[in-house]
Chains A and B, each alone.
Chain A
């Protein structure tokens, strides 16, 4: 029984990790006042970038870097268009997703049908041999650890560092931030690039660890789920982390319920991850005044110094 629970938890971790990356990245972007709806596009380009490098070089580290870099390059396009050419963020973000899906299909043409052995697990000596928690906590691959570290790191960065304060200032009131000497465009660009790299890592996790293969459209809407998580988590990294695991957890548990032949219509079970995640996150963020405080006031608004 314990073994079975461990297996279930392991599946939940793999289902949740891509969402953690994408959501944590987007939180930083949105905290800086930029709404990038291109998460899905950056994820899928990250997925093919990582997979292509993994298959050609066989080097997992290079592959992960390539995934992050692919997302980052796409994010740079978005940042350049919206922050320097002041294009509409919503439209540009949507276009980025469309472009990402199509471009990844083009890049991935030669990689359809290829397989990759999967990311190596970093078994921490001694600890990974412990019963139950051994494999669960100390026997994961590097990206799972990185996703946890990034959630903690971003919480610390946004809340406790000077640069985190600058990011938030730019997102709350870009005119004020500009007037005290911050370069709004530069700080936002940094946040956008970080978000792109994180979305790329989320995609890389999909194509390297979750389902180590390349098929077109393999992100299948996870970027949109991450975007929704950010809003329902009221821009708090730890809540988004929790939300991602809640979503992943219920997704897996409902599959198990079906496998055991539970007498509940599968449509309701399929709906459950979405429903439960929204309800729970809305409940924990229901305080109205606090919600207003956490939503970046300049979210989605373009800034120009002359303006």
Chain B
């Protein structure tokens, strides 16, 4: 009953927001390019959806009245998403960014019926003639964060507030484990799944739980700043997710992995305006600026900052790879031999924990 009600209410919210956002500016003189955005969270989440919305604002700044943007926030993944995307497509949007993994199939289905509309789906792996995909190599940021965490932990336990067991999230956990253990072989990673991208209360409870179990660094792959705040009040370290979260815990905030979508959104919109848009697959990292690190906490010793910066520069020039062999899975079996690095295919389909991560992947 609770699930049904929640779903019903979310549907109504999504539809109401969609209608409101769309009635906003249907009439314009010079026929600007209409660009639509679908967000999974509220734009005020200070994380994932917030950064996508920053990208939308960058578009408006860059192109002025040549573009007109629309966004629909808090759209649940699944059937509702398809309705919202479809409504954007039928209301004259030429370019639609769907910014959550769960929008993958809805985006493809809508795209089939609207061959003239350009779709961009974030973090997915299925493309079509008019569906491009894009994502950030966030694991590069997690590698840097993992190095810092490995150096800073005193209890040798890092806690990870995780959302859903998809390759994207598992890859992040593994990147942290590999990096942290490369500087401190005794490190263990504890993972708690909260089965949500955004539930501040539950994220906070998960962080408290792990701190009670002896974790002294909290990392997260969920979108609210609540875990940072818990870390601050309990006097442990934390790493921010998606945007700079230091406002929520300036002492605890070691750094954050920042998603910077603006350059990509500007480039893709320009491509539609210039009629050079093509269905591509983009996976940008530090090098393209899609992934950035927030300023390091002043409490981090200079040699650790130097270590982190060396790794970041190494990733940019290609001399460092976060998934360089030898990499062992939990059973000790070598999955990436020494001298090799994990292929993008392996990274995209990652469904195993590496050595040093506690517990099993829920399946």
Point out residues on A near B: beta carbons under 8 Å: 4, 7-8, 11, 14-15, 18, 37, 40, 94, 97-98, 101-102, 105, 108-109, 112-115, 118, 206, 210-213, 215-218, 220-222, 224-225, 227-228, 231, 251-252, 255-256, 258-263, 265-267, 270, 274
Contacts and interface: CB of A to CB of B under 8 A. Distances in A.
A94 B229 CA distance: 32
Interface in B324-363: 358-360, 362-363
Counting chain A CB atoms within 10 Å of each CB, which of B5, B46, B198 scores highest? B5
A213 B226 contact: yes
24 contacts: A4-B212, A11-B205, A11-B208, A11-B212, A37-B5, A40-B9, A94-B9, A101-B13, A102-B16, A118-B233, A211-B201, A213-B200, A213-B229, A213-B248, A218-B201, A218-B224, A220-B199, A221-B2, A251-B202, A255-B209, A260-B213, A261-B358, A261-B360, A270-B195
A11 B1 contact: no
B206 A255 contact: yes
Which 3 pairs of residues, A with B, have the shortest CB-CB distance?
A: A216-B42, A261-B359, A266-B362
Given A220-B202, A228-B1, A266-B195, A256 B44 contact: no
B204 A224 contact: no
Given A213-B226, A258-B193, A259-B209, A98 B248 contact: no
Interface string B237-264: 0000000000111000000000000000
A220 B12 contact: no
Contact of A259 (B2, B159, B225, B363): B159
A7 to B, nearest CB: 4
Contact of B13 (A98, A112, A212): A98
Contact of A108 (B44, B192, B358): B44
Counting chain B CB atoms within 10 Å of each CB, which of A216, A231, A267 scores highest? A216
B8 interface: yes
Contacts of A97: 9
Chain A contact residues: helix, strand, loop or mixed? helix
| Chain B interface residue number, banded | 35 or more
Nearest to A115: B248
Contacts of B212: 4, 7-8, 11, 256
A217 B42 contact: yes
A98 B12 contact: yes
Nearest to A217: B42
A274 B209 CA distance: 19
Contacts of B275: none
Counting chain A CB atoms within 10 Å of each CB, which of B12, B43, B192, B215 scores highest? B192
Given A220-B201, A231-B1, 11 more contacts: A15-B205, A102-B17, A112-B44, A211-B204, A213-B200, A220-B200, A224-B9, A228-B2, A259-B190, A259-B215, A260-B213
A274 B2 CA distance: 9
A30 to B, nearest CB: 14
A113 B228 CA distance: 12
Contacts of A115: 229, 247-249
A218 B205 contact: no
Interface string B8-42: 11001100110000000000000000000000011
A277 to B, nearest CB: 10
B175 interface: no
B74 interface: yes
Nearest to A108: B44
B96 interface: no
B80 to A, nearest CB: 14
Nearest to A113: B247
A158 to B, nearest CB: 24
Nearest to B233: A118
Contacts of B117: none
A228 B16 CA distance: 25
A183 B206 CA distance: 48
A120 to B, nearest CB: 13
A97 B42 CA distance: 16
A79 to B, nearest CB: 20
A109 B42 CA distance: 11
B58 to A, nearest CB: 19
Contacts of B43: 216
